[in-house]
Amino acid sequence: MTTRQETRSAVLKKIVPTREEREALREAVDRLTGELQTTAGERDIDLSVQLVGSIAKDTYLRGALDIDLFLLFPPDVERETMKQRALDIGIAVLKDWDIQYAEHPYVRGNYDGYDVDIVPCYDVKDPAEMQSAVDRTPFHTRYVREHLREEQKNEVRLLKQFMQGVGCYSAEERVRGFAGYLAELLVIRYDTFEKVLRHAPDWRDGAVLSLTDAPAAMFPESFVFVDPVDPERNVAAAVSDEKRRLFIQAAMAYLEKPRITYFFPRSVEPWPLEDVASRLDSWIGAALPRPDVVDDILYSQVRKAVGSIRTLLEEHDFTTHSGAYHVDDDILLAVELEQLELSRDRIHPGPPAEQEEHAAAFQKKWSGHPRTLREPYLEDGRWMVRITRRYRHAGELLRDKIDEVNLGKHLSDMASQARVLTDGELAQEKYAAFWTEQLSDQMPWER
């Protein structure tokens, strides 16, 4: 049986940057920083350049070589001026660039084979003086560099790779998991990777973690790690309950039986399509084109769209059990039902008899109605009527109503092109790996 120490050593051999990688990266950062400063000087722009993120903190994983450089402007520079000057400088220095958007636009591009973000912010002396959210990032970098000991850097690397392996690393909307900064704070708080895992079961609903004695603000999220740089911010705000519980489950399982697949899971081996199809007789889906929108917006809308479809189905008496989605060249929104087809008719309850006005309106509406199978009648003091269902099959309902469902702005624009899929139509080759992972009882590390 592999010991935790053996597993740890094997993982570190794969994730710690090599000397050659470090040297090449350092040279690229130095050259790029110099070019940005020179370009700013040629334009007579007052700013400083600062490396931030995991590279600056030396907690990056081998091969994860995205360079984040911030252009720090004096606080009295107008915001629009700051944005335009930063874009001009980034565009002049980077190749194959494009403009990305967060709180304000920034430049993403390539430099000597490295992916680079050039981000403007204000050079404030205290987080309390922040003028935008990104002004906080240099303070995060400084805090980790000052509080993370040298021997803890590999502990962070182990934690990041573990989170990545089990499927809960990244605060992006696509994942809704643990950010790199949160992983660093967890190691600062608990000291080692293994101690983080040992304390994970303590992160029940309502858990509040902190590194300072400052009183914690009230946060709406069920899991909180108070930002030591800004006590009004929850670093764990992006962590969904699902991903927190997944991490806890993985941590407990790993401590019981360590193996390298927690860090490097095997890829999904898709089931044969006939096996997939046999498990989908209670699922319904809608496939629609993928809109041209950034991932954070897209995944937020996709989740809401699945919820909206479930609501539509439930409003028409279908019982839903779960929802799922798959995003690739197209988007699949899927819902599991207790049954795809309902009985021909149902009892529709009306108001209590003592509510005479409402009772009269109910009787008037349903007496002689084309869908009425049994005229309104009293039962246990309440008016009832037996009617035919407007929709018996979930597929018919979704085909008729999908363009009326609030799927979110960009997905609703695609609703007219949606294809409703049921039964064997869902078992397509391009969805085989997704359905295998969705329907399998195996966790990523058990493959």
CATH number for the domain harbouring residue 86: 3.30.460.10
Contact in structure between 32 and 67 (CB atoms under 8 Å): yes
CA distance 32 to 57: 18
β-pairing verdict for 114-122 and 67-73:
parallel
* CA 77 to each of CA 82, 83, 130: distance values in angstroms, whole numbers, following the listed order: 6, 10, 13
Q: Which pLDDT score, from 0 to 100, does residue 3 have?
A: 86
| Structural domain contains residue 198 | yes
Which domain CATH number covers 173?
A: 1.10.1410.30
- pLDDT band (50, 70, 90) for residue 215: low
Range 210-232 average pLDDT:
88
| Structural domain contains residue 248 | yes
Q: Which pLDDT score, from 0 to 100, does residue 101 have?
A: 79
| Structural domain contains residue 431 | yes
> Are 260 and 330 within one domain?
no
Q: What is the mean pLDDT of the chain?
A: 94
Last residue of a domain, one of 231, 265, 299: 265
- pLDDT band (50, 70, 90) for residue 1: low
> Are 120 and 218 within one domain?
no
Q: Which pLDDT score, from 0 to 100, does residue 294 have?
A: 86
Last residue of a domain, one of 265, 286, 307: 265
- Percent of the chain at pLDDT above 90? 87
Maximum Cα interatomic distance, the chain, rounded to a whole number of Å: 86
pLDDT at 423 over 90: no
> Are 371 and 440 within one domain?
no
| Structural domain contains residue 8 | no
User: For 169, which DSSP code?
Assistant: B
Contact in structure between 18 and 60 (CB atoms under 8 Å): no
Contact in structure between 328 and 353 (CB atoms under 8 Å): no
> Are 378 and 396 within one domain?
no
Amino acid at 281: D
Q: Which pLDDT score, from 0 to 100, does residue 29 have?
A: 96
pLDDT at 201 over 80: yes
Q: Give the range of the structural domain holding residue 93, as residue numbers without chain letter.
A: 18-132
> Are 408 and 290 within one domain?
yes
Q: At what angle do helices 79-93 and 19-42 cross, to 10 degrees?
A: 120
Give the chain's domain count: 4
Mind listing the pLDDT tens digit for each residue in 245-303? 999 999 999 999 999 999 999 999 999 999 999 999 999 999 999 999 888 899 999 99
Which domain CATH number covers 362?
A: 3.30.70.1550
CA distance 134 to 52: 11
Mind listing the pLDDT tens digit for each residue in 18-41? 999 999 999 999 999 999 999 999
Give the three-class secondary structure for 246. helix
| Structural domain contains residue 5 | no
CA distance 211 to 229: 10
- pLDDT band (50, 70, 90) for residue 212: confident
| Structural domain contains residue 9 | no
> Are 93 and 184 within one domain?
no
Mind listing the pLDDT tens digit for each residue in 163-198? 999 999 999 999 999 999 999 999 999 999 999 999
- pLDDT band (50, 70, 90) for residue 315: very high
Q: Which pLDDT score, from 0 to 100, does residue 104 have?
A: 76
> Are 296 and 362 within one domain?
no
Last residue of a domain, one of 244, 265, 286: 265
Mind listing the pLDDT tens digit for each residue in 121-137? 999 999 889 998 899 99
> Are 435 and 287 within one domain?
yes
Mind listing the pLDDT tens digit for each residue in 349-368? 999 999 999 999 999 999 99
pLDDT at 216 over 80: no
Q: Which pLDDT score, from 0 to 100, does residue 24 have?
A: 95
> Are 287 and 436 within one domain?
yes
Which domain CATH number covers 425?
A: 3.30.70.590
Task: Quickly count helices (H) and strands (E) in the chain.
Answer: 15, 14
Range 75-79 average pLDDT:
93
Q: Where are the alpha helices (DSSP H) in 367-426?
A: 394-401, 409-412
| Structural domain contains residue 12 | no
| Structural domain contains residue 157 | yes
> Are 426 and 293 within one domain?
yes
> Are 232 and 162 within one domain?
yes
> Are 294 and 349 within one domain?
no
Helix (H) or strand (E) holding 245: helix 241-256
